[in-house]
Amino acid sequence: MHRNAKRFIYVTVVGHSVNHSTNSLYNKIMSQKNINGNKKMSIFRGVWFNKLDPIITEWMSRNGYLLIRISIGIVFVWFGFLKFFPGLSPAQELAIRTITLLSFGIIPDFIIINGLAFWEVLIGIGLISGKFMRETLLLLFLQMAGTFAPIFLFPNEVFTHFPYALTLEGQYIIKNLILVAAGIVLGGKLRKGSAELIKSRELKKR
């Protein structure tokens, strides 16, 4: 019994010492890695970085919303305008077939493509002008829902190998995820923008 107690005490003490040494060695290694990492980062994040970073990020914060709104507006006007001229838009044929299928062939092709062109140009004008943003974003999201329909209606024309390899038309469709995300960002600012506008008007009245 006495021997077992000694053995237990020895194992406990030695084990604790080994564990403590291992932890110390690990902490030294990690500390050295952090020092080396900080040295490498200091090459890119020196005094000049600390001066430029606030200026650039402030500019992005101040102008980002406007640039997103204008750039997306330009895309919609551009793409929509092309649809007024047969053969210029690469999405024309697929768009006509999709809407024809969804409308059970009731709407003529001429009305489909020109109506879609007008819809997209209207969205673009709304975004560029910043007027009637709620209505503009509603049109945008409805249009986006329609653009994803070919994925389910014509998968063979969207994918070369389902579900990861896209055709040119498929890439044209999937890139609309960016437009949807940007639309959400723009919509998230509407109420805040309205509140700031009302506040500024009240301050002017005073």
Q: Which two tokens stand for residue 10?
A: 């020895």
Residue 151: Cβ-neighbour burial (10 angstroms; 0-12, 13-18, 19+)? middle
Does residue 8 surpass a pLDDT of 50?
no
Angle between the N-to-C axes of helices 133-147 and 190-205, in degrees from 0 to 180, rounded to the nearest 10: 170
Q: Which two tokens stand for residue 5?
A: 């107690």
Q: Render pLDDT for 37-73 as a digit per residue (tens, 0 to 9).
A: 555 555 666 777 788 888 899 999 899 999 999 999 9
Task: Please give the Cα distance from 119 to 79 (Å, whole number).
Answer: 11
Residue ranges of domains in the chain: 1-44, 51-205
Nearest Cα to Cα of residue 139 among 109, 131, 168: 131
Which residue is listed with tokens 């970085």?
A: 49
Q: What's this model's pTM, rounded to 2 decimal places?
A: 0.71
Task: Please give the Cα distance from 204 to 206 (Å, whole number).
Answer: 5
Residue 112: Cβ-neighbour burial (10 angstroms; 0-12, 13-18, 19+)? buried
Q: Render pLDDT for 97-134 as a digit per residue (tens, 0 to 9).
A: 999 999 999 999 999 999 999 999 999 999 999 999 99
